[in-house]
Amino acid sequence: MTLPKQLEESTILTQRQLGDCVYLATFSAPEIAKLAKPGQFIQVRIQHGDVMLRRPFGVAAVDRDHQTITMIYRKIGHGTRILSEMLPGEEVNILGPLGHGFRTDVKHPLLIGGGVGLAPLLFYAAALKGKVDVIMGGRNEDEMFWVNLFRPYVKNVYVTTDDGSMGTKGFPTTILPQILEKEDYDSIAVCGPEIMMRGVAKIAKEHHVPCEVSLEKRMGCGLGACLSCAIDTTDGKRKKVCKDGPVFPAEEVFA
C-alpha cells in the first residue's frame, strides 16, 4: 500500500544543540505534521551550499496544532554540518512522511534505543503517552539528555551507560532480561546500533514478546526507486528499508 506523502518548503523555527554534536530542529510543515505516524521518516534537502542529495531523518515529534515537525540528529558529515549551522527563518525542502512506522495498536510497549536511535521512539512515546516504558543507552551521563525529553510521556525510564556514570553500567541488553521477567509487555520497539537491535531481538524472542526494529540505511531517493537501501530478509526476499520499512518485525530481518 502506498502511503500519502507531501513535498513542502519548510522554515526552520528552532535549532538548538542538545549534546556533543546532537541537535534538535523544528520546522513548519503543515501537511507532513498532519500525516506523520511514529516510526516514519523525512527526506530533507538543504537548498544552499554544495549538498546534492536529500538526507533521511526520523521524525522525533509532531505538533499538529502548530503544524510543526521536529527531528533530532547527529552532526556526522558535510550535510549535517551545514544543517546544524542554519538559523531560524532559513528554509529547507522536506519530503515525507515516508515509510512504515511502528504498530500503535498495543497496550504496554517497551521502547529501547541507543544514541540518536531514540529520536523516532520519542514520537512513539508521545503518541502512546502513559502506556510505555523506555530503556535508553548511551556512552556516558552527558548523553542522557534524553531522560528529560522522554519523562513527560513514559511510566518508567531505565538508563544504561557504557562507563557506568549514570544508571546501570553496560548496554540495554544488560538489563533487558530482568525487566521482561518483572513486567508484562505486549511489544518491544527498538532503534539504534544494529548489534544492539540484534541482541534485543534475540532476548525478545526468548521471552516470547513481539519485537519491531527500525533500520537505518543510506538512501538516495527515499521512495524505493534507487535501490540503495535494499536488504535481504530472512525469507530470502529483497526489501527496501525506505519503502517497506524502516520498521520491520525483528524476525523478518534478523535470523
* CATH at residue 87: 2.40.30.10
Would you call the peptide bond into 4 cis, given omega within 30 degrees of 0 as the criterion? no
pLDDT at res. 220 = 67
The answer to whether residues 157 and 134 touch, using CB atoms and an 8 Å cutoff, is yes
CA neighbor of 160 nearest in space, from 203, 123, 188, 192: 192
Identify whether 247 is part of a domain.
no
The answer to whether residues 196 and 173 touch, using CB atoms and an 8 Å cutoff, is yes
pLDDT at res. 224 = 67
pLDDT at res. 2 = 55
Residue span of the structural domain in which 63 resides = 6-98
- Mean pLDDT by runs of 10 across the 255 residues of the chain is 78 96 97 96 86 87 98 94 95 95 96 96 97 97 97 97 97 98 97 96 98 85 73 89 92 92
Last residue of a domain, one of 98, 131, 163: 98
pLDDT at res. 174 = 97
**Residues 91 and 116 occupy one common structural domain:** no
Last residue of a domain, one of 44, 77, 98: 98
Residue 208's CB: how many other CB atoms inside 10 A? Answer: 7
User: pTM for the whole thing?
Assistant: 0.94
Contacts of residue 72, Cβ cutoff 8 Å, sequence gap at least 6: 18, 22, 23, 24, 25, 58, 60, 116, 118, 119, 122
CATH of residue 172's domain is 3.40.50.80
Identify whether 220 is part of a domain.
no
Identify whether 231 is part of a domain.
no
pLDDT at res. 54 = 84
- Order across the sheet with 211-214: list the strands: 168-169, 154-161, 132-138, 109-114, 187-191, 211-214, 247-249
**Residues 81 and 138 occupy one common structural domain:** no
**Residues 156 and 83 occupy one common structural domain:** no
**Residues 132 and 200 occupy one common structural domain:** yes
Number of domains in the chain: 2
pLDDT at res. 242 = 86
**Residues 209 and 123 occupy one common structural domain:** yes
CA neighbor of 73 nearest in space, from 164, 82, 231: 82
